[in-house]
């Protein structure tokens, strides 16, 4: 069985052709990427993606009769029932775009759209760290903190496709701002949030004449990012270690809420956690032991995502595979 995957992002978008074997494993046979910003008109962008799909199908010798479905992964908000993309912040001008209808009319096969966090959850569940589980939570922990829920062997989207928006949970009255809310899970556990936290900590250090190896002056504060902090933490910088410890502790608090409410077998965490698991895990686990229900924590494994930079490619194909299965 062959599948078409469309991964629409704010910076770049990709077209992926994949095929499955008898066990449901997906192999990518062709892919191509373009700059999203080069196509500000969403209809022109979709037309270009379809042209690329046509070229890749021809290049791989894929007969359309063997293609079962098209899977589309895109940042929300969107309506996955009506197949409409509804003004995502990172896609200006994409206002109520009927993306599913446009692909179904073009290829005459079913098309499905999911927000990118749900799509990545499907990929890690079907092909990655959550494979074989029935109850899994996926957390992006990248630029933001998004989530996808697999409950009782099915993707759970909620009443109007807003399930899994864990970044909006408030963990403190005050703190870094994420998801438009001060002290939110995303505020403490995302690239943007950690950068905010780092600027606050570094400012305190410099004002008290304490040294910070990765930022020697107030003028350099705006250059701080998560990667800089992680590198400095590995070299033993005290400010960086404090920043990581704080983010990791709040990761523990957020995970404890999810474990107590959902009782999952597995929580898979991507991006920043996956790249820096050794820095985060000790503090995270300490808080989890304090906060989570012991029997629920005992059966839940916290794992780094396995698909890495390829997750977006597999995510769109897994949307097609999953919707074809159910």
- Read off the pLDDT of residues 149-197 as tens digits, 9 standing for 90 and up: 999 999 999 998 889 999 999 999 999 999 889 999 999 999 999 999 9
**Exposure of 227 by Cβ count < 10 A (0-12 exposed, 13-18 middle, 19+ buried)?**
middle
Residue 90: the pLDDT is: 85
Distance CA 7, CA 15 (A): 6
Per mean pLDDT, which range of 24-33, 260-269, 276-285 is the poorest?
A: 24-33
Domains of the chain, earliest start first: 2-128+308-325 (3.30.420.40), 166-304 (3.30.420.40)
Question: What number of other Cβ atoms are within 10 A of residue 101's Cβ?
Answer: 13
Question: What number of other Cβ atoms are within 10 A of residue 319's Cβ?
Answer: 33
Residue 326: the pLDDT is: 79
pLDDT band at 221 (very low <50, low <70, confident <90, very high): very high
Residue 325: the pLDDT is: 82
What is this structure's pTM? 0.93
Q: Please determine, for residue 44, whether its predicted confidence score (pLDDT) is greater than 90.
A: yes
Q: Please determine, for residue 24, whether its predicted confidence score (pLDDT) is greater than 80.
A: no
Per mean pLDDT, which range of 88-97, 237-246, 247-256 is the poorest?
A: 88-97
- Read off the pLDDT of residues 79-136 as tens digits, 9 standing for 90 and up: 999 999 998 888 999 999 999 999 999 999 999 999 999 999 999 999 999 999 999 9
Q: Please determine, for residue 12, whether its predicted confidence score (pLDDT) is greater than 80.
A: yes
pLDDT, the chain, mean: 94
């Amino acid at each position: 069985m062959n599948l078409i995957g469309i991964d629409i992002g704010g910076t770049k978008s990709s077209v992926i052709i994949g095929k499955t074997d008898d066990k449901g494993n997906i192999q990518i046979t062709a892919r191509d990427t373009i700059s999203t910003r080069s196509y500000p008109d969403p209809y022109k962008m979709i037309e270009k993606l379809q042209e690329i799909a046509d070229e890749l199908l021809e290049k791989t010798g894929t007969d359309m009769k063997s293609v079962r479905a098209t899977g589309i992964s895109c940042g929300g908000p969107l309506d996955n029932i009506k197949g409409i993309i509804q003004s995502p912040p990172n896609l200006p001008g994409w206002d109520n775009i009927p993306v599913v209808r446009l692909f179904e009319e073009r290829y005459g096969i079913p098309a499905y759209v999911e927000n990118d966090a749900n799509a990545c959850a499907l990929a890690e569940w079907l092909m990655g760290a959550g494979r074989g589980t029935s109850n899994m939570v996926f957390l992006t922990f990248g630029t933001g903190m998004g989530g996808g829920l697999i409950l009782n062997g099915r993707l759970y989207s909620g009443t109007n496709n807003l399930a899994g928006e864990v970044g909006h949970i408030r963990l403190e009255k005050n703190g870094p701002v994420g998801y438009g809310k001060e002290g939110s899970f995303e505020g403490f556990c995302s690239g943007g949030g950690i950068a905010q936290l780092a600027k606050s900590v570094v400012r305190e250090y410099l004002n008290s004449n304490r040294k910070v190896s990765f930022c020697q002056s107030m003028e350099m504060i705006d250059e701080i990012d998560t990667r800089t902090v992680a590198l400095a933490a590995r070299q033993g910088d005290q400010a960086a270690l404090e920043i990581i410890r704080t983010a990791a502790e709040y990761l523990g608090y957020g995970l404890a809420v999810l474990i107590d409410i959902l009782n999952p077998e597995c929580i898979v965490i991507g991006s920043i956690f996956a790249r820096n698991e050794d820095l985060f895990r000790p503090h995270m686990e300490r808080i989890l032991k304090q906060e989570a229900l012991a029997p629920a924590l005992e059966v839940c494994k916290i794992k780094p995502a396995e698909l890495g930079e390829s997750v977006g490619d597999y995510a769109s194909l897994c949307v097609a595979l999953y919707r074809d299965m159910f």
